[in-house]
Structure 1
Amino acid sequence: MKKYLTVVFLLIYNCLSAQNTFWNPVLITGFNATSLRADSIDDQTAFLPFLGFGIEKPFDEKTSFGASGSYALKGGNVLSPFSKYRFQYIDFQASASYRLSDIFRFEAGLQPSFVLSSKYFIGTDSLAELNVKKWSSEFSAFAGLHFHFQENVSLGLRYFLPIENSRFNQFQVVLSIPVGGTMEKIENKNSVNLAYQHILALKEGVLLVRLKTSDNIIQHLNNAGKTEEAEKIRQQQRIENLEIVASFKKYFRFCPVYFFYSTQTAEA
């Protein structure tokens, strides 16, 4: 069991330590369809709930990694005499996913499980504790198909293949619901906060507006003997600068504004 846990731990660690990616927190819930693996017992499938929390970390447009932990009920129902097996588990899952299309995603992964409690109900009144050690471990692999029907909300079906110490045959219906925001959204929020700080700094400071002079073009035209064209450009630039100054004085009240010519850039 230790070697399987090591593999799962390394997968999760490598994913979480990857650079330039963001993770999506998700709430996972649904039900387990389980039955006892003992061939000597004629039992029926029990449908029992689970609830947990996980993360999904995209690597590119098609592939992603997922890790989750959940509290789960598993068991089986025996018809004759009527009795029920009920186990409480903590399940951990590490999986890789591949987008088959815009709405379908294939998933495969590993699941270590740990028993919290085990009970055996006989009829409707009698209850017995089973001799199962608390925190005893089980290990299985799983594969599934998920249907994305609203943004990142998905409904999936998983089939579990027992590997070590598994007491139940397991089939799972899982609903994944995004919670909070992605790290990408958090980064965007930080950018907004930074922009807000810059706006506050401007409010408490001054705005410097540089006015063009077109001196290089005017000088080139004068050197070429085209003085009329040079004067025309000078007047056009003067009018443009006057319009800029007038617009700021009329409409801009956020902070003080100072104007300077492009030839004064070094001084500004």
Structure 2
Amino acid sequence: MRERIPVVVQGRRTRRSRAARALWTGAELAVTLGAVLLLLVVHQLWWTNRQAQHAADDQVDRLERQWDARPPSPAAPPAPGDDEGAAARTGRGGPSPGTSARRAAGRSPAPPRNRAYAVLRIPRIGLTAPVAEGVGKAAVLNKGYVGHYPHSAQPGEAGNVALAGHRNTHGEPFRRLDRLRTGDTVLLDTAGARYTYVVRRTLPRTTPADGTVLAAVPYSSVHPAQRFTAPGAYLTLTTCTPEYTSAYRLVVWGVLRSTQSR
């Protein structure tokens, strides 16, 4: 009687083993990729905010120390009178020729590009942030600064002081800009004066191409009902909306109420 030698078939087991190893490797890669993505999100949403906010706070401290160390500056131009303030608030009428001429004559040169030169304070949302000339991302906005649109008016001047800031990441100074309401105070401090603006209108959503919101007499070409019609001393704050997107723009408009020399 012959003894049979068992035959072991290993092909199927080998294939299963390879499939299991491939599945395990794929799972490890997925976990690794997920961890990398999580770290990127943490870096973008937390670390960049921490760095930018710290740098912005330091810049505000430096500006205020510089201003305190300077000798007293000449008196700032007078604030708008009652008639002019009423015109800016209602969008009817305009400043007197004498007031406009004084402002035009006292217009200061534009600050150096990308350099912080003012401080924006909005008590309603607890904001204190440096303002720099220009709106470049790397040079200004990503540092946690608020950017001043070149060729728009400077603080306190006739025309429109147009500012932009991030709503999310990189310090996100305008994170809560949507909480501003009519009558809220916005302060712009410079080396020579404090300019107090009052919120008059909010445009919750418009397109990025709606550039007329930055005009000297601001209005929305997308939403024609949202407009001012008379010359004045305006402030425009812009940021992206909804949060974590850049699909639209949120716009807040204010008018100059008073000027206080430093």
TM-score, normalised with respect to structure 2: 0.26
- Relative contact order (C-alpha < 8 Å, sep 6+): which is higher? 2
Bigger Rg, structure 1 or 2: 1
Higher strand share: 1
Whichever structure has more helix as a proportion of its residues is 2
